[in-house]
Chains A and B, each alone.
Chain A
């Protein structure tokens, strides 16, 4: 699999330089799916960006999503006719956009698509994530048919979590690639 077939899907406000997604981009040449507006994410616009990135891949893609990116993957997979072009998805710290405070900031992203994902997936969640309770992440994993990995107390599993280039995440990605 070529590195450019691994599509990085950051969440709201994009992933900064020290976020593991940015480190993976630099270290391994994975491809970040760009959005027109990271600060005011429009769901429909984000879905089209993902659709176009998947269609542009010369081989089946692996999606590596963080936070709102996970919700984007579920929404996209629920409708897209291109979902068969995806080999698997690593979903990390999904943002609970149905929560009242987040719903107000991210209108248009509720409800979260709960259809089973039509490709292999793993969901990584933490017990002290400020944007999603562990129980909610568990229920998303169950509905999406994703294998759940419990990361303990790792916050939002982002740059603030002090993960560096997150070797455990890379191991999960390797396992995901081998599942197929």
Chain B
């Protein structure tokens, strides 16, 4: 059964999509079977995975509305397959915004994605869901589907404010909709060790959240920033770059964490 994780942070521009596509590619590179779900109508994770969002015949929108299953709607990118980092993509485009209107009066509106993913759970080791920054019905669908949340964050003062909003949201979803949901870990991204404030915030995070802070740190890296314009994750665009190497290390850390959890007695 797949482990399902949301990549979420209610603050925008913190690297959610970069984390989602690079972790997907990194996990695929180390032999994991991965489905990436783009829950953001901007479709950046779709484009960043080598799939033109305008060419989608079916998307996560159709899955949420029940007019298609994940099996029919998922696609793959040749570019990623050729690089040995291929994963399945449940893509999104502008149409997904309509789900906010259309889901409102449907039964189990927060659980439509969870139900759809159950049908393909055996096909994957990991399902990674790229959530939009707002707390919307789309984000709720992501959080209701997931076993945990990976929170990418920059080590800046205001990042902690966004984190408290997210923690409150997760508590509410945990209490009312999804008892499995927990924060899996905080991932420090766009990290620049030369900036004193970033070091200080990083230390604060470790002292507050302890083991919840991933050991892997993703540095600020121009190759990661350039990759989306080529329609591939940084892990594919420049595998030797520091950013790509960091995401590969993060993929290893995730696999180790999951294996460790599985080995623990219930």
CB-CB under 8 A for A48 and B54, given A42-B93, A79-B104, A81-B104: no
Residues of chain A lying within 8 A (CB to CB) of residue B101:
44, 47-48, 51, 76, 79-80
Flag B81-114 by CB within 8 Å of A: 1 or 0 each: 0000000000001111111111111100000000
Chain B interface mostly: helix
Contact with A along B157-196 (1 / 0, CB 8 A): 0000000000000000000000000000000000000000
B104 surroundings in chain A (CB, below 8 A): 79-81
Chain B residues whose CB sits within 8 angstroms of the CB of A108 once the complex forms: 62, 95
Q: Which residue of A lies closest to B98 (CB)?
A: A44
Across the interface, name the chain B residue whose C-beta is closest to A45: B94
B54 touches A47 (CB 8 A): no
Q: Digit string of A35-63 for contact with B (CB within 8 Å is 1, else 0)?
A: 01100101111111001000000000000
Residues from chain B with a CB closer than 8 A to the CB of A152 are none
For the complex, give the distance between the alpha carbons of A42 and B57 in Å: 11
- The chain B residue sitting closest to A75, CB to CB, is B102
Contact A44 B57 (CB under 8 A): no
- The answer to whether A45 touches B95, judged by C-beta atoms less than 8 angstroms apart, is yes
Indicate if A107 sits at the interface (CB-CB under 8 A).
Answer: yes
**Which residues of B lie under 8 Å from residue A80 when comparing CB positions?**
101, 104
Task: Quote the shortest CB–CB distance from B141 to chain A (angstroms).
Answer: 14
In the bound complex, do residue B57 and residue A45 qualify as a contact, i.e. CB atoms below 8 Å apart?
A: no
Interface residues on B, range: 10 to 19
Whether B105 lies near A36 (C-beta < 8 A) is: no
Chain A residues with Cβ below 8 Å from B62 are: 108
Query: Which among B96, B98, B99 is the interface contact of A46 at CB below 8 angstroms?
Result: B98
Does B126 sit at the interface, judged by CB under 8 A? no
Contact present for A48 and B57 (CB under 8 Å): no
* Contact between chains at A43 and B105 (CB < 8 Å): no
Does B61 make an interface contact (CB < 8 A)? yes
In chain A, positions 1-59 with a C-beta closer than 8 Å to chain B are 36-37, 40, 42-48, 51
Find chain B residues with CB under 8 A from A40 CB.
Answer: 54
CB distance from A170 to the nearest CB of B (A): 30
Cβ-defined partner of A45 (8 Å) among B97, B105, B106: B97
Cβ-defined contact, A45 with B98, below 8 A: yes
Q: B266 to chain A: closest CB distance in Å? A: 41
Partner of B98, one of A37, A47, A81, A107: A47
B102: chain A residues at CB < 8 Å are 44, 47, 75, 79
With A40-B54, A76-B101, A80-B104 given, name 5 new contacts (CB 8 A).
A42-B98, A44-B61, A48-B100, A79-B104, A79-B105
3 tightest A-B contacts by CB? A44-B98, A44-B95, A42-B95
